[in-house]
Amino acid sequence: MIPKTIKKLVVANWKMHGNLKQNAALLNDFVATLANLKHTQVVVCAPYPYLAQLQSALQHSDIAWGAQNLAKNEIGPYTGEVSAGMLRDFGATYVIVGHSERATAYCESDENIAQKFMVAKKHGITPILCVGETLIEREAGVMEMVVSKQLDAIINAYGAAVFANTVISYEPIWAIGTGLAATPEQAKSMHRFIRNKIAALNSEAANQLKILYGGSVNPQNALQLCIVENIDGGLIGRCSLNAQDFESICYAAEKAAA
């Protein structure tokens, strides 16, 4: 459950980066520098083996932590998978679901992603559902159709009410790791579309939903993006691996929330 006083959410997605030593340095810096945020929740999502490290470094701070994926099943003979219950054992309260880097490389279907979203919720972990279109889809003007279909996989299976107290991250694939972020206008239009789509089905869920933007967010563009209506924060890749950059983005979100 995201507290009502929290207006913005900034999530670090470390992807497959880091080691014990580098993580410790980053986490110590985050804890020391981000202690005064009042309206912004910071979350760090690291590779599974570092969850215990996140727990011990962050448990006495306001920074939350989570994973970048989870199994759609709860228990059983699924070699190499990690369940929601296991994430809970290490205090994880957020999990990224359906990131395009996984969906593409490991052929994750929208239906699998929907199941993961629900299993996270069932275990009290806030899912961060990633949606977004490719460059070809944007150039063809079908980006809303693409995102709509990704949302429909969840809506058709479980109803729109399940989006209450969850997070959707709009991550245009062409903006991820390219240095070419969506413009505030492009993001504004898609975020409005997402909010309206959920609101048309369940206005309460739409109000209780955070919609993040992800894709080449940096200290220079963070404020511009975070002040846009319906942008509730960011999902940060590359710049979350640099303490100063990440902290500037968190402070930009805090400024936008004030």
Residues designated as active site: 99, 171
Distance CA 99, CA 167 (A): 13
Ranked by CB distance to ligand 13P, the top (closest) residue is 237
- Of 108, 110, 133, 171, which lies in the binding site for ligand 13P, with binding defined by CB under 6 A? 171
Helical segments of the chain, H only: 20-33, 51-58, 84-89, 100-105, 110-122, 135-139, 143-158, 184-201, 203-207, 222-226, 243-257
- Of 177, 203, 244, 258, which lies in the binding site for ligand 13P, with binding defined by CB under 6 A? 177
Contacts with 30 (C-beta within 8 Å, 6 or more apart), sequence order: 42, 44, 58, 61, 63, 243, 246, 247
Token couple for 53: 């490290």
Q: Is 209 helix (H, G, I), strand (E, B) or coil?
A: coil
Q: x/- string (CB under 6 A) for ligand 13P, residues 34-63?
A: ------------------------------
Site for ligand 13P in 234-253 (CB under 6 A): 235-239
Tell whether residue 214 is a contact of ligand 13P (CB under 6 A): yes
Tell whether residue 66 is a contact of ligand 13P (CB under 6 A): no
Tell whether residue 215 is a contact of ligand 13P (CB under 6 A): yes
- Output the smallest distance, CB 219 to ligand 13P, in A: 12
Nearer to ligand 13P, 119 or 212 (CB): 212
Site for ligand 13P in 95-134 (CB under 6 A): 99
Q: x/- string (CB under 6 A) for ligand 13P, residues 12-31?
A: -x------------------
DSSP letter string, 167-199: EEEE--GGGTTSS-PPPHHHHHHHHHHHHHHHH
Q: Which stretch binds ligand 13P (CB under 6 A): 102-110, 111-119, 232-240, 247-255?
A: 232-240
Distance CA 146, CA 162 (A): 20
- Output the smallest distance, CB 182 to ligand 13P, in A: 11
- Output the smallest distance, CB 169 to ligand 13P, in A: 7
- Output the smallest distance, CB 204 to ligand 13P, in A: 27
Q: Which stretch binds ligand 13P (CB under 6 A): 1-9, 55-63, 115-123, 169-177?
A: 169-177
Q: Is 62 helix (H, G, I), strand (E, B) or coil?
A: coil
Distance CA 30, CA 20 (A): 15
CB–CB of 14/46 below 8 Å? yes
Nearer to ligand 13P, 99 or 116 (CB): 99
CB–CB of 66/125 below 8 Å? yes
Tell me the number of residues near ligand 13P by CB under 6 A.
Answer: 14
Q: Is 36 helix (H, G, I), strand (E, B) or coil?
A: coil
Binding residues for ligand 13P (CB under 6 A): 13, 99, 171, 176-177, 214-217, 235-239
